[in-house]
Amino acid sequence: MKKVISTDKAPKAIGPYSQAIEANGTLYISGQIPINPTTGLIIEGGIVEQTTQVMENIGEILKTAGYSFKDVVKSTCLLSDMTNFQAMNEVYGKFYNENPPARAAYGVVKLPLGVLIEIETIAIK
């Protein structure tokens, strides 16, 4: 059975999708961008600040669904500029300091609202 997961502690969807869907013990979190859920605005700063906000948003969705970063098995990171990879990687690693998930990282031409990073996440119980 499919269950829609939603929280006010992460940005509202900016299109026809859910923040996350849980199905058969697997949580699929839609790509998160660095929007402050309180203001609804993209946070100021560079890749470090934007990655931190994205990871905090993912953490709130995980928590709402009853999961944690330890349950994450796969992440996909989309970067508007691959020269930001190392700085993104340092922030990302702070959230997965033990048994990190599988991951792919891609450089893309453009991301929604001109952000520097978007991360989608899959977690399993």
Domains of the chain: 2-124 (3.30.1330.40)
CB < 8 Å & 24+ apart, contacts of 66-71: 66/125, 67/27, 67/123, 67/125, 69/95, 69/96, 70/98, 70/99, 71/27, 71/123, 71/124, 71/125
Q: What is the pLDDT of residue 13?
A: 87
Q: What is the pLDDT of residue 10?
A: 97
Task: Give 12's DSSP letter.
Answer: P
- For residues 45 and 30, the answer to whether their CB atoms sit within 8 Å is no
Nearest to 26, CA basis, from 75, 72, 59, 76: 72
pTM for the whole structure: 0.96
Q: Across the 125 residues of the chain, what is the mean pLDDT of every consecutive 10-residue run?
A: 95 92 97 96 97 98 98 98 98 95 97 96 96
Residue 103 to residue 125: CA distance in whole angstroms: 18
Q: What is the pLDDT of residue 39?
A: 95
